[in-house]
Chains A and B, each alone.
Chain A
Amino acid sequence: MTKPNTGEVNPKDTAAHEIRSYATGFVISLILTIAAFAAVLSDLSPTLKILIICIAALLQVTTHLRNFLHLSFSGNQSREDLLLVLFSASLLSIMAGGTIWILSDLHGRMHGDQAAHAEPAEHSHNRAPED
């Protein structure tokens, strides 16, 4: 059986290292969260806002995995961790990609309040309603 890669060498060293890792993660997460809120409250264009929020979110996911969940590609569990990340990434991309594909395909047919959407997705307008 493989051991968890939290490193059971010297409890004192480990504890100090752990606390530093958690603190770093906490500060980075805080900054990224503030960045997302700042983006929403700012006067940037909606596209840019969404982009900033998405990037901040992805970075925060990485921080959590690394600093809080002890994911690492260098320990003796690196192969398992790598597989886990790749598997998660593929499933999440199926879900996120599928959603974008399905909903953008449907967008033109929802007859929502067109004024609320400054830029309706163009490709959905190219389709005839019958197909």
Chain B
Amino acid sequence: MIQQTNPIFGRLDWSVTPYTDLLNKVTSSTIVGAGAATVLVVGAIGAVALLTWMRWWKPLFRDWLTSADAKKIGIMYIVLALVMMARGIIEGFVMRAHQATALGTLAAPESGLVAPDHFAQLFSTHGTIMIFFVAMPLLIGLINFVLPQQLGARDMAFPVLNQVSLGMTAAGAGLIMISLLVGQFGTGGWTMYPPYTGIEYSPGEGVDYWLWAIMISGIGSTLTGMNFAVTIFKKRAPGMHFMRMPLFCWTSLCVAIMLIYAMPALTVSSTMLLLDRYAGFHFFTNAAGGNMMNYANIFWMFGHPEVYILVLPAFGVFSEISSTFSGKKLYGYTSLVIASMSISVISFTVWLHHFFTMGSSVPVNIAFGIATMVIGIPTGVKIYDWMATMWRGRIRVTTPIVYLVGFFMLFVIGGLSGIILANPSIDYQVHNSTFLVAHFHNVIIPGVLFGMLAGIHYWFPKAFGFRLSETWGRLTAYLFIGGFLCTFMPLYVLGLMGMPRRSPTFQNPDFMPWMYIAAFGGVLMLAALTSLTWTFWTSWRNRERLAVPGGDPWNGATLEWSSPAPVPEWNFPHIPVVTARDDWGATKRGGDPWRGPDEYVDIEMPANTYFGVTLAGAAFLLGFAMTWHIWWLSIVSLFTIVAALFWRGLQVVEPVIVPAEEVERADKQYRDRIASLTPVRRVEEETEHNRGVPDITEFAG
């Protein structure tokens, strides 16, 4: 297939939209494709109309997009992730619906809701979105929001770099989204292994969409890792030694280290594939002296640390909530720190277990198999630590605790199936089957998703000043747990029955009962998504009743609970001097924790800038232009990026000064408010009486 490249439009023409496919041939597959594109278009038009109607454009830019405040950047990351998650879950549902109708016969082997090529695009985008544009933004957003507050800092070490990271992630997400409407996405799965994704077998734009989205967002993630690491090393409050940091900060440090060392591997493998595709290189073409297995090798050098990048922040969240909602100190702090650090280092030594079957000899496979089993040990230590934290505690079954208990039950099953897969001889039997699909969903959903949703519930009041509805929150949690069980437990069985993963069709009628259960699970997942959306909506409507201006709704022990909710831009009127681990808890034990600082000083905050938005726009255009071979636009956008970097480098950047009087006024107001609110006991935590001021005599953590 040789395509003509137009000098102005590159390879774009009117035949690339799903609507042309629909006009050419009306099938369920083209209807689904056109429907998805329509949802995107209507959603975009609706968003623009809403912003215009409510006159929100100016506030959107002034308060959010140009802001360098880590908390706002964190919230924007999470919003991006939730939007992408909606698409990912819907795609998952379409795939389950497809496979439930995909029983073919020997005479008519193809069947089902969508065409095989469409199905391949679905699993490729689903995987890419869920890993890179849901899990990553969720955890990076949560860390951005929480980390400075827990460390006793006002912001990240590099606030504007943080804005750029968000911009790069959003640009990548934008490329994935536009691929719904313009052209096709790749069909090589979320890992995009060559030679299939080489230019010879995948000549179209699909793989290029993936490559540019991954490259651009990967730069953002690398920069984020550096930002987190420097923040933790340099911006801790006085007295906050490493061993006094809350565990969430420790897992953030592990994440930062892994991002710094793992993301470059992904950039390297993507660049090599890019050079193969665009510049006629032969890194991965065997016949010309390359080696396609090297792609798998480099990719998983990133890919395995990546799964621990995803799950460690969730472990941090679970450490915080198991302690807070049990009213106890975290059990085994030191062991949890050592376990987290061990995980982050050992995670760099196991990558070959993703391709045991590529044909390595026994010693290689055994070495990586053993390393894989070893990494289960620190994870096991953590589970026991959290259970010991809860043991004999006064547990309140709030939404985060429901997620935590769901995590205990399900993650252990997922971990055990991982230990099974770590044995190369068993891996040979079940690799590339739905057993594997069940395994990684079994660790990622209960681990990452539950952890992040629990974290959102836990810290939501700190961000917006009101709690989320516990009733709806728990319902969402139960739906996610039930949805997970119904969707993925059947896949274990199907895998053992011999069903390959990613198969658009099959001819074995014995699969069908399990397929129906899995499809029902897909319905439950959709219900969970709806319920999650409703939780936010109903909580916003009841925000007066759920308001917690006192700022400490859960009787917490870490520094972020010492400030009002919503937390002011500067986090702390005076940088706290830390004297103990769980400093806020220690202050509570000392009595009168809400005493104001003796003096107020001017506070320097980073100024707003359009730098991040400019780079994001230019990066998105660069990716889009390169994907469609629109060379002039690529050059223009690349030039814009370079010019913006120069321009920023030549600026004298002045911070914004918040005068001491303003800080004093806001802080005094908060202290007066605290004095006027009635402290609430734990039993009334979920009622309207919870105004964010806990009864400190009950504090035992």
* Residues on A facing B (Cβ under 8 Å): 1-2, 4, 80, 88, 91, 94-95, 98-99, 101-103, 105-107, 109-113, 116-117, 127, 131
Contacts and interface: CB of A to CB of B under 8 A. Distances in A.
Contacts of A98: 301, 349, 351-352
A106 B286 contact: no
B294 interface: yes
Contacts of A102: 297, 352, 360, 364
A11 B549 CA distance: 46
B363 to A, nearest CB: 8
5 contacts: A1-B238, A98-B352, A99-B297, A110-B286, A113-B288
Given A1-B238, A110-B286, A103 B362 contact: no
Contact of B293 (A80, A101, A110, A116): A110
A94 B358 contact: no
Contact of B362 (A116, A117, A131): A131
Contacts of A103: 291, 293-294, 297
B364 A112 contact: no
Interface of B: 233-236, 238, 261, 265, 286-291, 293-294, 297-298, 301, 345, 348-349, 351-352, 358-362, 364
A117 B291 contact: no
Nearest to B359: A109
Contacts of B345: 91
Taking each of A88, A94, A102, which has the highest tally of chain B beta carbons within 10 Å of its own beta carbon? A102
Which 3 A-B pairs give the minimum distances between C-beta atoms? A116-B289, A112-B286, A91-B261
B599 to A, nearest CB: 21
A81 B260 CA distance: 16
B157 to A, nearest CB: 11
Q: Is the interface of A mostly helix, strand, loop or mixed?
A: helix
B293 A106 contact: yes
Given A95-B348, A103-B293, 10 more contacts: A95-B301, A103-B291, A103-B297, A106-B291, A107-B291, A110-B286, A112-B286, A112-B289, A113-B287, A116-B288
A4 B288 CA distance: 49
Nearest to B352: A102
A102 B365 CA distance: 9
B352 A94 contact: no
A117 B348 contact: no
A106 B358 contact: yes
A95 B345 CA distance: 12
Contacts of A109: 359
Contact of B236 (A1, A88, A112, A117): A1
A4 B645 CA distance: 24
A101 B365 CA distance: 11
A94 B349 contact: yes
B361 A131 contact: yes
B325 to A, nearest CB: 32
A13 B288 CA distance: 55
A112 B345 CA distance: 35
A58 to B, nearest CB: 16
Nearest to A77: B233
A121 to B, nearest CB: 12
A2 B235 CA distance: 10
A103 B362 CA distance: 14
Given A1-B238, A95-B301, A103-B293, A127 B287 contact: no
Given A103-B294, A106-B360, A131-B362, A1 B234 contact: yes
Contacts of B359: 106, 109
Contacts of B265: 95
Given A1-B234, A106-B358, A106-B359, A94 B289 contact: no
A62 B688 CA distance: 61
Nearest to A99: B297
Nearest to A117: B289
A88 B345 CA distance: 11
Contact of A112 (B291, B349, B362): B291
A107 B301 CA distance: 19
A56 to B, nearest CB: 19
A99 B298 contact: yes
Nearest to B235: A1
A80 B229 CA distance: 13
A72 B348 CA distance: 27
B364 A127 contact: no
